[in-house]
Amino acid sequence: MDCLQNPNPSSAGPYHFGESIDPSMDFDEFSDYFMLDYGVNDHQDSSSLSIVSTEKFMADRSTGSSGGATSRNSNNNMKCRNEGRRNKIEMGHRVAFRTKSELEVMDDGFKWRKYGKKSVKNSPNPRNYYKCSSGGCNVKKRVERDREDSSYVITTYDGVHNHESPCVVYYNQMPTPVDPNNIWTLRASSQSSASS
DNA sequence: CGATTTTGACCCGCGC
DNA sequence: GCGCGGGTCAAAATCG
């Protein structure tokens, strides 16, 4: 896993998820964050999602109320389609990012295996489905381009990794502790303490 | 040669 | 009940 060596040369841009999400990083490219726990209800548009600014996002996470703070869905008719389908994923968290990127696959430090592709109704762009290829980890990720602005990519993470990113492991071995702003380490730890 | 991607089929929930 | 839209499976193809 050469995630630290930027395996995506062309994505040498500001989005290095595996590295750390730090306020000091170049967030110019991160326009919006949609974050929500439990299901996007309608695919209306951002009105049904909660858009949090970068700063807010950070603040929420540091206060421990990851997502809960602002992800309040006014309409209560949200139904996780997934919950009804086989007894799959227990619907942990769902987080969606919208980033400005030419590549839709940004390296977040995890290894993803693509398992499907579908064209979406209201978008000319297809949607790709990925699964975390780590055994036992059934986190899913959905990647599609913004239907209005194809220069934006919407990445939706479904679930929480039950393991750490290879990059995080690496970081853990470093003299300086893991960057507290790293979303993955944060998520991993918050889940292990919360849902156990 | 194993792992991953591709791609069409299949499945399921929901609205009409 | 049917059709549509969205999500997943799985076999074949491709890649490293």
Q: For residue range A118-138, list pLDDT tens digits in order.
A: 988 878 888 999 998 876 777
Residue A144, nucleotide of least CA–C1' distance: C6
CA distance A196 to A191: 8
CA of A80 to C1' of C5 (A): 15
Task: Confirm if A169 and A46 have CB atoms less than 8 A apart.
Answer: no
**From the C1' of C5, which residue's alpha carbon is nearest?**
A121
> What's residue A188's pLDDT?
43
Residue in A137, A195, A193 with CA at minimum distance from that of residue A165:
A137
Q: What is the pTM of this model?
A: 0.61
pLDDT tens digit sequence for A143-161: 988 877 778 888 888 887 7
Judge whether A140 and A91 are in contact, CB under 8 Å: no
The half-sphere exposure of A114 on its side-chain side, counting CA atoms within 13 A, is: 9
**Shortest CA to C1' contact from A85: nucleotide:** B12
DSSP-assigned letter for residue A4: G
Please check whether strand C approaches the CB of A129 to within 7 Å. Answer: yes
